[in-house]
Structure formats: structure tokens, C-alpha cells
Copies of this chain bind each other. A is one copy, B any other.
């Protein structure tokens, strides 16, 4: 069984929040969903074309002089709800840091420290970003979407803090490996 494609879920979901151009959609997916989702440029436009052919989105003009935007149709909204209710597909796991640490004997303790240092600074940077996102959301007009957005921000924060703690612990473990050799 093929891993079901989920690009349409991301696209329809984003358009369920507000109508957008394809360009804005790509930006929103990168900037807003970025910490847990990604779609490349070459996926979004073909997906939009397909969704449009299926009658799940349509192009609309708000005013005479405004840009044409992609808007989700009632059928699109129904489709989105169906797709959202499907159990989440667990993504293919590929963690380059852990792959390298696993073979740490070949890489050497110093190399492992570098990897951990990178992981730590990335986690710290992410925590700052989450803080910024959280404040941004709270500064906006209150919306029924926000509490759900915050669940995902919280997931990112938990993960980043957990990574930071694991790094500390692992640094100490590396010290012990070194002194034991």
C-alpha cells in the first residue's frame, strides 16, 4: 500500500483558514507549518490545478482590482474534513544526527560533540522561534483556529526542550566514554 499523499490536506487546510494566491500559500506553508510540514514549490501548483479540476478549490476575485486567489469550495471543505479524520500517517524517520552518533565509534568523540553542539544550537534557535510565533498568534484577532495552532507550537517547544536535555546528558556520556578509553 502506497503512503497516501498529503499535499492536498496541507493545501486545503491552509485555504480553509483564508483564501490565498499560490505564492502566498507556499509562503504560509513554509513560514507557518514549517516546523512540522514542508511542501516544495513544484508540488503546490500541480496540486492546486488538480484540486481545481476536482472542484475542491476555485479562483475568486474579491474586488475588481484585487489579485485572483484560490478559495476552498464547500465540497473542498467536506473533503478536507474527511481527510483530516483519517489516522495520521507516520512519516518516514530519517535523523541524520542519530545516524551519525550511532556510528560514533567510527566518527570519534570529537565529531560526536560537534553533532550534539549543532543539535543544541538548533534547539535553542527553535525555542526562540516558537516564542515569537506564540506572541504573534496572541497578538492577532482572536480566532477559533488559534487554540489548535498553539497545540502545534507546544509540540515544537516540548520537542526542542527534550532535545536540549538529551544533548546535556549525552555530552556527559561522551566525557565518560573518553575517560574510559
Contacts and interface: CB of A to CB of B under 8 A. Distances in A.
Interface of A: 6, 9-10, 13, 16-17, 33-38, 77, 80-81, 84-85, 87-107, 111-112, 114-115, 118-119, 122, 144-145, 147-152, 154-155, 158-159, 161-163, 165-166, 169-170, 173, 176-177, 181
A177 B147 contact: yes
Given A36-B98, A163-B158, A170-B154, A148 B9 contact: no
Give the interface SS of chain A, mostly helix, strand, loop or mixed: helix
15 contacts: A6-B99, A36-B95, A36-B102, A38-B94, A87-B118, A88-B119, A89-B96, A91-B95, A95-B155, A98-B152, A102-B151, A103-B148, A105-B148, A151-B170, A161-B162
Contacts of A93: 34-38
B103 A80 contact: yes
* Copies of this chain, whole number: 2
A97 B44 CA distance: 20
Nearest to A9: B99
Closest 10 CB pairs of A and B: A88-B96, A162-B162, A104-B148, A36-B98, A13-B103, A36-B95, A84-B107, A158-B166, A91-B94, A88-B97
Q: Which of A34, A90, A111, A162 has the most CB of B within 10 A?
A: A162
A165 B158 contact: yes
Given A16-B103, A91-B96, A102-B148, 14 more contacts: A6-B96, A6-B99, A16-B106, A35-B93, A80-B103, A81-B107, A84-B103, A85-B107, A88-B96, A98-B155, A105-B144, A112-B151, A155-B170, A158-B166
